[in-house]
Structure 1
């Protein structure tokens, strides 16, 4: 577990749920060293743009011992201040008597997936705008289908290039 590439943490299920263990994957994802996070709550990854709704969803899970697992999307911050879209899976680890002892969490950087969703949405809007331009062009007797398609392809290519930066 400690050397897994998947970001994993274990926290106490009591008090402020401080991290008991953070693996190498977690440290690589967040930029923090294990010594900097163990004993602290994962709120240290939250920042100004982290939504109150996602914070509340995590808080509600942590403080509801009846819930065994949950999945949460949250905007987090690395040690260097850069943001990432974190998909967090959490599950309670219980003792034989059913008492919640620990919370195991795995974190996945979904930033690229979020950017690709936005890119698809932009492509769809561009396609609709292209269709509108073609209709307007036809109404004015303009043959602009090839020009409009070239504009669309150029804009879509620029958006993809910016995504890779």
Structure 2
């Protein structure tokens, strides 16, 4: 049987279920953030490559924003759910993991390190996040996504 990346796909939580949990019920309507100009350049600096899309979906209610973002770990995307409340990370969840190594990033001992992190003036995380031996690329991917979600949250709070 030929190798199929989909065979290694682990769905830890469906994105729709994550949204329902994040909002404690049906999520609000999806919103779209247009990632162009200075925002796109800041996102590129965080990701070390251009953002994959000019439009990013998010959900918001009050001071809470929820982002479902993807970033390549080693060769395949990691789907991550990020909840931001009042400019601080409330939760980071690995929703779908597709890599053959590094899935330790899904555990709470890792994702809890992001709690209460905010974006610094230099567009980085305000908290240090310890790595995981054997999962370096996945750790870096999740750190980039958390930082990106904070950047995007900051952008929409300035727009509103």
For Structure 1 versus Structure 2, the TM-score category normalised by the shorter chain is under 0.3
Larger radius of gyration: 1
Superposition TM-score, scaled by structure 2 size = 0.27
* Larger helix percent: 1
Greater relative CO, 1 or 2 (CA 8 Å, sep 6+): 2
Q: TM-score, normalised by structure 1?
A: 0.26
